[in-house]
Amino acid sequence: DSGVTQTPKHLITATGQRVTLRCSPRSGDLSVYWYQQSLDQGLQFLIQYYNGEERAKGNILERFSAQQFPDLHSELNLSSLELGDSALYFCASSVAVNAGELFFGEGSRLTVL
């Protein structure tokens, strides 16, 4: 158990809809990262937050947004969903702002029908 909690574990929705994925980092970790993993693909970095502020942005679509709240949990919002958005979405956390060892959650599997 990495200490990172993600909900929901599975989500099935339709094209055009909007979903919110939630992440609670390990206790004491200030950085939260979001990654997307499509079938048999690598992990694509989406976005990082550190202590409530956006720190780095990767290949995140404009239809996607995220935020980190004062209690350090984070949410990833995916809107106007398309079939290609079906993937595993991982949240990871670390103590420092610079990525070192990341602790990953179990992921949220999104299926868009």
Partner 1 sequence: GESVGLHLPTLSVQEGDNSIINCAYSNSASDYFIWYKQESGKGPQFIIDIRSNMDKRQGQRVTVLLNKTVKHLSLQIAATQPGDSAVYFCAHTRGAQKLVFGQGTRLTINP
Footprint on this chain of partner 1 (rule: CB under 8 A):
2, 4, 33, 35, 41-45, 48, 55-56, 58, 90, 92, 97-107
Q: How far is CA 35 from CA 47, 76, 105, in A?
A: 7, 10, 11
User: Looking at residue 25, what DSSP letter applies?
Assistant: P
36/81 with CB nearer partner 1? 36
Q: How far is the CB of 31 from partner 1 (least distance, A)?
A: 8
Q: Which residue number, 41 or 77, has a Cβ lying nearer to partner 1? A: 41
Nearest distance, CB of residue 18 and partner 1, angstroms:
24
Any long-range contacts for 55-63 (C-beta under 8 Å, 24+ apart)? 55/31, 55/97, 60/34
Name the residue nearer to partner 1 (CB basis): 11 or 56.
56
d(CA 112, CA 83): 5
59/80 with CB nearer partner 1:
59
The position carrying tokens 């990262």 is: 33
> Residue 1 has which token pair?
């158990």
Minimum Å gap between C-beta 14 and partner 1 is: 24
CB of 93 to partner 1, least distance (A): 11
